[in-house]
Structure 1
């Protein structure tokens, strides 16, 4: 009977130790997971700060009620009209095509010309250029690549 009791305890001790090891490993895994979550949040914040700030710029036109809104990451352009009358405010798409090559924020810049309706769009990373014309009618709004 003594031998049976000793054998029983010998089998019971490793089980207790194993349970404690699993508990320790579980705690370590929880700590690692929470650390990874914090690191992921920090990386997302850094990514936003690098690519999210200064993404959009407003460029005035010679018409005091109209601006061109440029997405400096993609090259997309909207015409934004403001007014003291709500029914005269709004926006229209000039270019909804993504012109980027995945190069990041701040890539595109608009430059006015002497013609009040025309601008030049420059990809500052690759040197690609576009001729941009804005207007009140959709037929007068266009963008074409300059080769």
Structure 2
């Protein structure tokens, strides 16, 4: 038994040295570019990814919400919270658009965080800033006196 333990004790220093060697080899950076060409292709790839993200972000900036009136739609700028009333018609003289809210309600740039939710009243919606949790009560109408927006505290 003593002979067995002495053999085990003899191998312990070898295990310690082997652990030290493997740890020191980890310090090599395995993802660093080996030359300037690799570095340039990596930067080009990252630039392409950023460009595609920007295009997707810009393409989702505006949303159209239907109302219960089949001729009236509400356009929302999801980045700023600005609202526009759109009336379409088969007769061009009956088509128009009107500003519901031209105020930039965003606190942060570039989030596309605004969303419009209908209520049971066909003329009223709730505007929500999903980034901050702020709410607004929105009413639309064909006359300017019937259109307004106010903050809900």
The answer to whether the superposition gives a TM-score over 0.5 is yes
SS at match of 1:104: coil
CA distance in 1: counterparts of 2:134 and 2:69, whole angstroms: 27
Q: Does residue 140 in structure 1 map to residue 149 in structure 2?
A: no
Q: Does residue 75 in structure 1 map to residue 46 in structure 2?
A: no
Tell me which residue corresponds to 2:30.
none
CA distance in 1: counterparts of 2:109 and 2:131, whole angstroms: 8
Tell me which residue corresponds to 2:21.
none
C-alpha RMSD of matched pairs (Å): 2.3
- TM-score w.r.t. the length of structure 1 is 0.68
- TM-score w.r.t. the length of structure 2 is 0.66
CA distance in 2: counterparts of 1:77 and 1:105, whole angstroms: 16
Contact 2:83 2:102 in 1 (8 A): yes
Displacement, 1:42?
A: 4.2
What is the 5 A alignment of 1:66-145?
66-145=72-151
Contact 1:111 1:119 in 2 (8 A): yes
What is the CA deviation profile of residues 33-86 of structure 1, one whole-angstrom value per residue up to 9, with x for unaligned ones?
xx9xx78x7477345325302111110001000000000010000001100001
Distance 1:103 1:50, change over 3 A: farther
Structure 1 segments of 4 or more deviating over 4 A?
Answer: 41-44
Q: Which runs of 5+ in 1 are unaligned?
A: 1-34
How many residues in Structure 1 have an aligned counterpart in Structure 2? 114
